[in-house]
Amino acid sequence: MSVAQQPSRSQSGALTGSEGRLGTVAGAGAWLWGGRAACAPQQRESRWGSGFGWGRTQRPWGPSGGPTERSTRTASGGMRCSLRLWVLLASLALLFLTSLLFSLSLRGGPGLSYLESPEWESRQVKLVPNYAGSHKLVSAEGNQQKTCACNHCVGDPGVSDWFDESYEPDISPVWTRDNIQLSSDVYYWWVMLQPQFKPHSIQQVLQRLFQVIPGHSPYGSWDPARCLRCAVVGNSGNLRGTRYGSVIDGHTYIMRINLAPTVGYEEDVGSHTTHHFMYPESAKNLAANVSFVLVPFKTLDLLWITSALSTGQIRFTYAPVKQFLRVDKDKVQIFNPAFFKYIHDRWTRHHGRYPSTGMLVLFFALHVCDEVNVFGFGADNRGNWHHYWEQNRYSGEFRKTGVHDADYEAQIIERLAKAGKITVFHGK
């Protein structure tokens, strides 16, 4: 029976055609039996008129040809079978080598030439302190106490059940010496965001990095006497003409993302910056006293920041990167992959491959600030997605990538605003 024909049933009721459960056509000259490929039989007359195609008893005296014809068919079928077996064996060998290389990367295989040979590392470690714990400040009278001195505090429990169910204030957004190790599920998820062929020892990379930058978090715990106000400034074109500049500059922390130019746009976006979130391919030099927060997607990003602040050996990841970076070394911070996955699991709920950088920065602020105000997120009033410094308002690169779910993230921002956890300053 050819592939284009309808499936037929044997006397036992089993399908033998291309749609059969037991036997399916896998390609030219190949069949599948229980999910495994087998060489297809030669079509010859059988002793019985029905049954599984390859289980028929061949008639040596069949009228379809003499001994020469039968031997030719057998030789041709044998050659095709041998070729398919060699292809199958080669595929299995390639799969084995790929698995071996990936296994070596997870165990700290050989890294770049200027790193020492890695040693065996255990991945079964705690994610962060008190990851599953609840956060409630209770006074001596048993009443819930405010977590800050602002009018509306991010950390105040009991305001929104939806927020309290997902919010974990004890998870650190910064990767430090204290949480240098990652649990296996976080590690495997993170290294597959941008898989690398050449494995690196994550422990060695971080130990070398923390010789160049501080290995501690600059953020403390909640203080009822404090009101730390933060502005999270996105890059949306809806900032044009808003005159939000002075409002933005009035915050304690002002967080910006990727390129985010301010010169020439001060009236709408402000002129001050305290935190700038970037990855290697978007990195730029920063003014003094600005914290560069690296958002790493792979171990090579950690190698790059070490190199860019010291030897300048790395000039390329998957794209050209700055050989040297002029930033304040004492203010460099590394975004914690465990915090990255926490946002992906708890908040964006696996919508998109991973959260956008804007969403990462927003939740960074929600875990270090008392009050969070949001500017420059979402489309403009015409529904266009573009950057405020672009002349083409119809570019919409954020929505074109397909990596992030912009609509779902917009719903999260709206829900956070309704819960009183953030204030959104709408643009034009």
Q: Write down the catalytic residue from 275, 344, 367, 404.
A: 404
Q: What residue type is 286 in one-letter code?
A: L
Query: Is 378 labelled a binding residue?
Result: yes
**pLDDT, tens digit, 9 for 90 and up, residues 105-154:** 444 433 333 333 333 333 333 334 333 333 433 443 445 678 999 999 99
Mean pLDDT, range 306-311, rounded to an integer: 97
Please tell me whether the overall predicted TM-score, pTM, comes out greater than 0.75 for this model: no
| pLDDT at site 171 | 95
**pLDDT, tens digit, 9 for 90 and up, residues 314-357:** 999 999 999 999 999 999 999 999 999 999 999 999 999 999 99
394 is catalytic: no
Cα of first residue to Cα of last residue in the chain, in angstroms, is 65
Among 396, 404, 397, 400, which Cα is nearest to 357's? 404
**pLDDT, tens digit, 9 for 90 and up, residues 358-385:** 999 999 999 999 999 999 998 888 888 8
pLDDT over 70 at 207, yes or no: yes
The span from the CA of 360 to the CA of 381, in Å, is: 24
Domain ranges of the chain: 64-106, 161-425
At residue 373, what are phi and psi to the nearest 5 degrees? -120, 135
Q: Which residues contact 103 (CB under 8 A, 6 or more apart)?
A: none
| pLDDT at site 172 | 96
Strand order across the 291-294 sheet: 333-334, 291-294, 275-278, 253-257, 229-233, 371-375, 423-425
User: 161-425, superfamily in CATH?
Assistant: Glycosyl transferase family 29 (3.90.1480.20)
Query: Is 272 labelled a binding residue?
Result: no
Q: Write down the catalytic residue from 187, 342, 354, 388.
A: 354
| pLDDT at site 402 | 67
Query: Is 426 labelled a binding residue?
Result: no
The span from the CA of 313 to the CA of 168, in Å, is: 38
354 is catalytic: yes
